Amino acid sequence: MLLTLSDELTVEFYLPNEWWEHRGDACLYANGGQVCFVVREVPGYTPVKIHQIAMALGATEIDLTESEASRLCLMANRLIFEVTQLEADAIVGSSMEPLPVVGEA
């Protein structure tokens, strides 16, 4: 799948509970015209424009192969931790707290 980059495409950092056992792993997938980039479970998400990542890679199009997904994973991790270091620290720090059990006081 080849995507032409545009401002409408974003990379989103989600918190899906089913990915808890895979924290640190990443999954790149297309979803309704957006590219969603699951990094790991964090409280909330930080959107990053995918064209910023691609420009850093020197590309105007991204071929969604396993290789490109891996390169995007590395670049997105760099962006979230270098561009928004304080926010990333707060997100990662709070993700280490135990999750509340539904139904308990």
**How far, in Å, CA of 13 to CA of 6, rounded?**
18
Q: What band does 72 get if pLDDT is binned at 50, 70 and 90?
A: low
For the record, the structure tokens of 12 come out as 């989103």
Tell me the pLDDT tens digit for each residue of 26-54. 333 333 333 444 433 334 434 444 444 44
**How far, in Å, CA of 4 to CA of 94, rounded?**
35
Looking at every residue in the chain, the average pLDDT score rounds to 44
- Give the residue from 40, 26, 43, 24 showing the smallest Cα distance to 91: 43
> What's the first-to-final CA gap in the chain, in angstroms?
47
Global pTM?
A: 0.25
Q: Output 93 or 66, whichever has higher pLDDT.
A: 66
Structural domain spans, the chain: 2-95
